[in-house]
């Protein structure tokens, strides 16, 4: 009986311990549930904060993109505006007057890197201009405006048989040559008095202009079989370009080897007039879209029978002419346009069918 009581007490004790254990377990579940609820709230808040942050970042990025697009648009607009300004060509006043000789030059009178005002000066004649060098005894450049209207005008003006000195230059202290200074050695016929502005073009602007082309300030010693053949053909092509395109400007002059490094020498022993190693011509006109076109030639001062489109063998760039001569042409153009125009090397312009006389 006593043992049965003890056993009963042990069973009661175990029952009470189990009950206590179950109570503690329910408390832990409650805590976990509360913790889970708190964690969910924190996650919800974190998600809200993250969403807000992402939204703000997206907004900021959107603003940046918008600003960037605006800057790009502004930059493109400015570049386009700049390019439009670049293409504005400063054609001189009166350029398209076919009946006027003015202006003789286009985009500025060419400048010479070794200019000396005591020896060199620009001389403006009726119909054309020259940049005279009293040391070399001839023009570094000549310039004339040719138009379709003047190309065949004043055919009644006859050539002179003799060249004359420019007395104005003499009075102003410049040394000039005379007709006899270009005579050949006795019994030889090698050299001609080669016009830079040809008589046929000059007389288009009238009697006085034709006569002025026979100043010695407009000639150089030129090998006869160049002057009478290839050079004459080139002159006629330049005149034909005036008929074809309405208006062209022509720059012409000599080239001396060793320009700026050595003095020139007389074309014959004892002569003061320098012997050119070659000659250049630059023809300038307007093309479609109000753009500038320039075509340059260099012919050595030797015999040449080339004519027509075969003269393309002598085509060079304006840059090359500038390098040979120390002259700077068309500097009034925007640098971008000038660089583009002067770097171009041909091709030679073809004859426009149905206009002029052809070549």
pLDDT tens for 175-212 read: 999 999 999 988 788 999 999 999 999 999 999 999 99
> In the predicted model, is pLDDT for residue 80 greater than 50?
no
How far apart, in whole angstroms, are the C-alpha atoms of residue 108 and residue 148? 23
Nearest to 359 by CA among 230, 254, 246: 230
What Cα–Cα distance (Å) separates residue 94 from each residue in 101, 105, 124, 145, 239? 9, 11, 17, 11, 20
304-358 pLDDT, tens per residue? 999 999 999 999 999 999 999 999 999 999 999 999 999 999 999 999 988 888 8
What Cα–Cα distance (Å) separates residue 100 from each residue in 147, 206, 251? 9, 11, 18
Q: What pLDDT does 16 receive? A: 42
**What's the full length of the chain, in residues?**
359
Other Cβ atoms within 10 Å of 13 Cβ, number: 10
Surface-to-core class of residue 159, CB atoms within 10 Å of its CB (0-12 exposed, 13-18 middle, 19+ buried): exposed
Nearest to 318 by CA among 343, 286, 283: 343
Q: Of 110-114, 221-225, 244-248, 353-357, where does mean pLDDT reach its minimum?
A: 353-357
What average pLDDT does the chain have? 85
Q: Of 20-29, 129-138, 145-154, 267-276, where does mean pLDDT reach its minimum?
A: 20-29
pTM of the model as a whole: 0.77
Residue 17 pLDDT class (50, 70, 90 cuts): very low
List all residues 6 or more positions away from 194 whose beta carbon is below 8 Å from its beta carbon: 219, 220, 221, 222, 226, 227, 231, 279
Nearest to 203 by CA among 247, 166, 152, 239: 152
Q: What pLDDT does 23 receive? A: 43
Q: The tokens 């310039």 sit on which residue?
A: 143
Residue 39 pLDDT class (50, 70, 90 cuts): low
List all residues 6 or more positions away from 205 whose beta carbon is below 8 Å from its beta carbon: 101, 126, 127, 128, 150, 153, 154
Torsional class of 78: left (φ above 0), alpha (ψ -120 to 50), beta (otherwise):
alpha
Q: What pLDDT does 68 receive? A: 56
Residue 237, phi then psi, degrees to nearest 5: -65, -40
Q: Which two tokens stand for residue 322?
A: 């500038």
Residue 359 pLDDT class (50, 70, 90 cuts): confident
Surface-to-core class of residue 8, CB atoms within 10 Å of its CB (0-12 exposed, 13-18 middle, 19+ buried): exposed
Surface-to-core class of residue 166, CB atoms within 10 Å of its CB (0-12 exposed, 13-18 middle, 19+ buried): buried
Assess contact for 228 and 307: CB atoms under 8 A: no
H or E segment at 188?
Answer: none
How far apart, in whole angstroms, are the C-alpha atoms of residue 8 and residue 13? 9
Assess contact for 249 and 105: CB atoms under 8 A: yes
């Amino acid at each position: 009986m006593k043992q049965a009581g003890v056993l009963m007490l042990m069973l009661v004790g175990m029952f009470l311990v189990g009950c206590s254990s179950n109570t503690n377990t329910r408390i832990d579940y409650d805590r976990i549930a509360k913790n889970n609820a708190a964690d969910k709230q924190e996650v919800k808040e974190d998600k809200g904060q993250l969403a807000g942050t992402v939204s703000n970042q997206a907004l900021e990025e959107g603003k940046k993109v918008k600003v960037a697009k605006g800057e790009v648009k502004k930059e493109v607009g400015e570049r386009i505006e700049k390019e439009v300004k670049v293409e504005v060509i400063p054609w001189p006043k009166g350029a398209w007057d076919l009946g006027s000789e003015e202006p003789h030059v286009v985009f500025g009178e060419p400048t010479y890197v070794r200019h000396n005002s005591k020896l060199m000066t620009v001389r403006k004649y009726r119909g054309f201009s020259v940049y005279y060098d009293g040391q070399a005894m001839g023009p570094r450049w000549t310039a004339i405006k040719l138009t379709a209207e003047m190309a065949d005008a004043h055919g009644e003006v006859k050539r002179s048989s003799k060249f004359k000195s420019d007395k104005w230059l003499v009075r102003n202290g410049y040394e000039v040559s005379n007709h006899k200074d270009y005579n050949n050695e006795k019994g030889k016929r090698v050299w001609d008095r080669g016009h830079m502005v040809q008589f046929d073009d000059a007389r288009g602007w009238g009697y006085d202009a034709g006569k002025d082309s026979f100043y010695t300030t407009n000639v150089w010693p030129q090998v006869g079989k160049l002057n009478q053949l290839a050079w004459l053909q080139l002159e006629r092509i330049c005149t034909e370009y005036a008929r074809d395109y309405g208006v062209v400007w022509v720059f012409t002059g000599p080239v001396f080897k060793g320009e700026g490094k050595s003095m020139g020498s007389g074309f014959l022993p004892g002569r003061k007039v320098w012997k050119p190693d070659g000659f250049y011509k630059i023809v300038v006109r307007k093309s479609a879209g109000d753009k500038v076109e320039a075509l340059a030639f260099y012919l050595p001062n030797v015999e040449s029978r080339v004519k027509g489109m075969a003269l393309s063998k002598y085509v060079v760039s304006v840059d090359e002419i500038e390098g040979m001569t120390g002259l700077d042409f068309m500097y009034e153009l925007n640098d971008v346009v000038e660089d583009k125009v002067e770097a171009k090397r041909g091709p030679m312009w073809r004859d426009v069918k149905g206009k002029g006389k052809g070549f």
